[in-house]
Structure 1
C-alpha cells in the first residue's frame, strides 16, 4: 500500500503540471452526471413517482451509485485502460518487478479529474439526505458507507474482469461498457422497477441490488426483518471482487507476451 500511495502522489503531481487543463477537466466532469440528474429531476416533475419511489429516494440511490462509480473510475482506472499495456508490450515490465501486478496496474493510471464527478454525486447525496425524513442510527450510517464501498468493489471487479480478457483479445472490449456505464445507469434506480430477469441477474450475478436496493429499503424504513442483515448485504461487493482477483491471477499465469 505504501507503493500504491506513492503512485497516487506521483501521478497527481504530474497531472497538476497543467493546472488549467486539469481544473477544466474536473469542471467538465462535474457537469456530465449533472445533466443525467437533470433528466431524472424532470422525469419526476412530470410523473411524480416511479413504482412508489419519490424523487429524493431515487436521488439518494443516484448519489450513492455515482459516488461509488466515481471512486472506482478514479482509483481503478489502470484496469480500465489495461489493454494499452498489453498491446504495447508494457505489461512485460510489470512482471519482472518484485511487486504485485494488481498494485502496479492500479498505480499505472489515475483520473483525478473524476473528483468533479465525485463532488456532484456528493452534492446530490447530501441534498437527498437533507430532504428525506430518516430516523438515523449508527447502523444506518455504517450501511451507507458499506453501500458506497460495496459499489466501488463491484465496479472495480468489473474493470478487472474485462482487463483480464485483454490477455487473450489484446484489445479492450467495448462490451465492458455495458456492465460499467450500463450498470451505473441501471443501479441509479431502485431495482424493483425492472423486470424479474434483470432483478435476478443484478442481485445474484453482479450484485448491484445487494449494495444498493436492499440496504436502501432498510435506510428508508421500507424493509422488515433483522436490520443487521440489511446492513451486511453490501458485503456482497467483496464476495464479487475476490473471485475477480482469482480470474486475474489465472490470466497472469497464462499470459504470453505480445512479442512487440
Structure 2
C-alpha cells in the first residue's frame, strides 16, 4: 500500500501542474451526471412514482451507484487504460519489476478530475437521505457504506475483466461498456422495475442487485421479518472481484510479450 500511495501522490502532483485544466475538467465531471439526475427528477415530477418507488428512494439508488462508479473510475483507471500498455510494450516493463502487476497497473493512471462526479453523487445522496423518512441505525449506516464499497469493487472487477481481454485482442473491447456504463445507467433504478431475467442476471452473474436493490430493501424497511440477509448482500458483491483477479492472473500467465 505504501507503493500505491506513492503512485497516487506522484500522479496527483503531475495532474496539478496544469491547475486551470484540472479545475475545468473537475467542474465538467461535476455536471456530467447532472442531466441524468435532472431527467430522473422530471420523470418523478410527471408520474410521481415508479412501481411503488418514490423520488427520494430512487435518488438514493442513483447516488450510491454513481458514487461507486466515480470512485472506481478514479482509482482503477489504470485497468480501463490498460490496452495502451500492451500495445506500447510498457506491460513488459511491469513484469520485470519486483511488485505485483495488479498494484502496478492500478498505479499507472488515476483520474482525480472524477472527484467532480463524486461530489455531485454525494450531493444527490445527501438530498435523498434528507428526504427519506427512515429510522436510521448504526447497522443501516454500515449497510450504506457497504453498498458504496460493493459498487466500487464490482465496477473495478469489470474494468479488470475488460483489461484481461487485451492479452488476446490487443485492443480493449467496447462490449465492456455494456456492463460499466450500461450497468451504471440500469442500476440507478431499483431492479424490481425490470423483467425477471434482467433482475436475475444482475443479481447472480454481475451482482449490481447486491449494491442497491437488496440492501436498499433493508435500509428502507421494505422486507418482512429479519433483514439480516438483505443487509449482508453487499458482501456478495464484494466477492465478485475475486474471480476477476483470478481471470487476470490467468491472462498474465498466458501473455507472450508485445507483438504476441
With the length of structure 2 as denominator, give the TM-score of the two structures: 0.99
Residue 157 of structure 1: aligned partner: 157
| Runs of 4+ residues deviating >2 angstroms | 225-228
Q: Which residue of 2 aligns with 1:116?
A: 116
Provide the secondary structure at the position in 1 that maps to 2:89.
coil
- Residues 59 and 128 of structure 1 are in contact (CA less than 8 Å); yes or no, is this contact kept in structure 2? yes
Partners of 2:224 and 2:7 lie apart in 1 by 45
Q: Could you list the per-position Cα deviations for residues 21-78 of structure 1 after superposition, in whole angstroms to 9, with x for gaps in the alignment? A: 0000000000000111001001111111101100010000000000000000000000
Is it true that 1:206 corresponds to 2:186 in the alignment? no
- Give the corresponding residue for 2:251: 251
The answer (yes or no) to whether the contact 1:67–1:122 under 8 Å persists in 2 is yes
Cα separation, 2, equivalents of 1:250 and 1:225: 43
Residue 180 of structure 1: aligned partner: 180
Partners in 2 of 1:226 and 1:81 — Cα distance? 43
Paired residue secondary structure (1:17): coil
Give the match for residue 20 of structure 2.
20
Offset, 1:225: 3.0
When normalised by structure 1's length, the TM-score is 0.99
The RMSD of aligned alpha carbons is 0.9
Q: Which runs of 5+ in 2 are unaligned?
A: none
What are the residue-to-residue correspondences of 1:1-260 with 2, within 5 Å?
1-259=1-259
Q: Would the aligned equivalents of 1:61 and 1:190 in 2 still touch at CA under 8 Å? A: yes
- In 2: Cα distance, 1:34 partner to 1:259 partner: 42
**Gaps (5+ residues) in structure 1?**
none
> Is contact 1:211–1:236 with CA below 8 Å preserved after alignment?
no
2:215 and 2:234 in contact (8 A); partners too = yes
- Tell me, what secondary structure is at the counterpart of 2:18? helix
Number of equivalenced pairs: 260
Aligned-partner SS, 2:7: helix
Q: Would you say the 8 A contact 2:65–2:211 is kept in 1?
A: no
* Counterpart contact for 2:41–2:55, Cα < 8 Å: yes
Report the Cα offset of residue 175 of structure 1.
Answer: 0.7
